Structure 1
Amino acid sequence: MFPIKEATFLAPDVKLLRIEAPRIALRRKAGQFVIVRVHEHGERIPLTIADSDVDEGTITIIVQGIGKTTKLINMLEAGDALQDVVGPLGEPSDIEKFGTVVVIGGGVGTAIAYPTAVAMKQAGNRVISIIGARTADLIILEEQMRATSDELFVMTDDGSAGTQGFVTQKLQELLAIGEQIDRVLAIGPIPMMSAVSEVTRSRRIKTIVSLNPIMVDGTGMCGGCRVTVGGQSRFACVDGPEFDAHDVDFKILSQRNTLYRSQEKAALESLEADPSEDLAEIRHCRLEQQHPEVGPRAK
């Protein structure tokens, strides 16, 4: 069991969880993730480690409630526990002093971009961050990104915060005024990452994206997280999750991410129609954490 020390909504359907996981906190590096299971009969999903505190022995994950499991996670509160948290997994971000690094976060992708922005700043880079969302209430970690960036630009589709427009527009503006950019990191929806890669391709600016495909075991055995990079199959869980954006086949990535949409929809509808079984599992996890002698819940 992995006790939850803090559970706070950052935006509608976006929740921050601070979890007791001292071994992971000690070893994790920017860009790595964990595989989480809510309860004994739940599915396994990958979530990037947004932060950690070695002294407290905690890691922080940020979850957007979209499907059944993420909706369940967002029902958890401080004092609850997750059944499993496995990690850290994946290759860490490539961190060194490049010069000027632009870090772009779209939506909840900002949670993934944040630890890399911190690490890039600590390595001596000039960090320019661009974060975006549809509306102001969906912008997350603005102050944290501001604190670790030399410059921060906020973009919203409707102009309710920062500047109206897309993150790619701000990137194009920076390039147009002659900003010498040595590396770009873009994390967010697939269309956004693809658009950023097209902006930087002709300028030959090294651009890294973090991919979050369907993933089960996190060790390269199941092949569910297969992505096409440079014309070859790679596994996001062990070869990534970060790849050179100019080599990623975003079309195939988009197609694979919709393979199980009907099953995901059915699972979510089942949860919304009758959450009692899953809530009973969560309550049992809470009881088992408080009283280990209780043991697993009978089915």
Structure 2
Amino acid sequence: MNKILSAKWIGRDIREIWVENAPVADKFKAGQFVVVRTGEKAERIPLTIVEASDGALRLIVQKVGYSTDILCSLKTGDFIRDVAGPLGQPSVIENYGRVACLAGGIGAAPLKPVLKALKEAGNHLTVLQGVRCKDHLIMEDELEVLSDSYILVSDDGTCGDKALITEPFKKLIENGEIFDKAFAVGPPPMMQAVSWITKEYDIPLTVSLNPIMVDGTGMCGACRVEVGDETKFACIDGPEFDGNLVDFPLLIGRLKTYLDEEKQIMKEGDGGCSCGN
């Protein structure tokens, strides 16, 4: 179990991994995630499950630090030490009507299973995908085939129109498009910007959060987020929350907590992290 069946680069520093794990694959529902470790004392990495098929999980990993660098270095035939899951609450799927779905950067990966479930529930889907540049564009064909209307933008104009993802979203609304619901997955500043629009036009918004996470069971409290007047834990209450109530400034600040330590580890190697052991 946990054998890597295939691994390939699909974008700049973005790797697709299919890993064998029938127990998790059989129970997976859209919106849920796994926590993986590459070694006994390695950092735990939360990854949303993109899809499950024939006892295997499809995971998309972006190389952003020491631990994801190690994970991305694994090849077909290697093994991942631990794959725990499925964790978190499944997406709340129903026939909302007309739904706007926004994917920023690698957010295309966790959004894909949600799109599939929403489509199967009979929703009309307008999908907006935004990336920094063409090198970071992934899964565009998969998102487009699930959409009734698809818009692609990039920060530098190397793919799609040159714009931030919020620009065509707001333009659609200003031109009379009615949305009964919105989903957004991507970097926290992007989701925050989407929430400014959904609050302005009174559109219910669901966002998928990926804060700092250690054990994935709610014991450590590292993944706490403020939603309205309540403290929630992304690993057990989420990862999806009401995007119109999330305290994004607090979330963004907490994500910067260990930047100095990450830089130091990238220089020296970790020598074995003992967190949670």
What TM-score comes out, normalization by structure 1 length? 0.89
Letter in 1 for 2:64: I
Q: Secondary structure at the match of 2:3?
A: strand
Query: Match of 1:57?
Result: 55
Query: Match of 1:203?
Result: 201
CA RMSD of aligned residues (A): 1.2
Query: Match of 2:38?
Result: 38
Query: Match of 1:14?
Result: 14
What TM-score comes out, normalization by structure 2 length? 0.96
Deviation at 1:27, TM superposition (A): 0.6
Give 1 or 2: higher helix fraction.
1
Provide, for residues 245-297 of structure 1, a one-character-per-residue CA deviation record: whole Å limited to 9, x for no partner.
111000110111111111111112224xxx9x78xxxxxxxxxxxxxxxxxxx
Q: Secondary structure at the match of 2:237?
A: coil
Matches within 5 A, 1:259-298: 259-271=257-269
Q: Determine which of 158, 161, 174 is the counterpart of 1:160.
A: 158
Letter in 2 for 1:110: A
Give the whole-Å Cα distance in 2 for the aligned partners of 1:173 and 1:250.
23
Give the whole-Å Cα distance in 2 for the aligned partners of 1:270 and 1:113.
35
Greater than 2 Å deviation, 4+ residue runs: none
Q: Residue 78 in 1 paired to residue 83 in 2?
A: no
Q: Residue 47 in 1 paired to residue 52 in 2?
A: no
Q: State the structure with more CA Rg.
A: 1
Provide, for residues 44-79 of structure 1, a one-character-per-residue CA deviation record: whole Å limited to 9, x for no partner.
1111001111xx200111000001111111101110
Q: Secondary structure at the match of 1:81?
A: coil
Deviation at 1:231, TM superposition (A): 2.2
Q: Determine which of 180, 183, 191 is the counterpart of 1:182.
A: 180
Letter in 2 for 1:201: K
Letter in 1 for 2:81: Q
Give the whole-Å Cα distance in 1 for the aligned partners of 2:150 and 2:231.
35
Query: Match of 2:275?
Result: none
Letter in 2 for 1:24: V
Give the whole-Å Cα distance in 2 for the aligned partners of 1:83 and 1:139.
29
Deviation at 1:233, TM superposition (A): 1.0
Count of paired positions: 272
Q: Determine which of 116, 119, 138 is the counterpart of 1:118.
A: 116
Query: Match of 1:91?
Result: 89
Query: Match of 1:138?
Result: 136
Q: Secondary structure at the match of 1:82?
A: coil
Give the whole-Å Cα distance in 1 for the aligned partners of 2:137 and 2:173.
24
Query: Match of 1:284?
Result: none
Deviation at 1:125, TM superposition (A): 0.4
Give the whole-Å Cα distance in 2 for the aligned partners of 1:155 and 1:239.
32
Deviation at 1:36, TM superposition (A): 0.4
Give the whole-Å Cα distance in 2 for the aligned partners of 1:268 and 1:114.
31
Q: Determine which of 172, 180, 186 is the counterpart of 2:170.
A: 172
Give the whole-Å Cα distance in 2 for the aligned partners of 1:267 and 1:234.
29
Query: Match of 2:227?
Result: 229
Give the whole-Å Cα distance in 2 for the aligned partners of 1:211 and 1:15.
20
Q: Residue 106 in 1 paired to residue 104 in 2?
A: yes
Q: List runs of 5+ in structure 1 lacking aligned partners.
A: 279-299
Deviation at 1:230, TM superposition (A): 0.5
Q: Secondary structure at the match of 1:222?
A: coil
Provide, for residues 186-219 of structure 1, a one-character-per-residue CA deviation record: whole Å limited to 9, x for no partner.
1111110000000110211000111100111111
Letter in 2 for 1:113: L
Give the whole-Å Cα distance in 1 for the aligned partners of 2:175 and 2:51.
34
Q: Secondary structure at the match of 2:17?
A: strand
Deviation at 1:101, TM superposition (A): 1.0
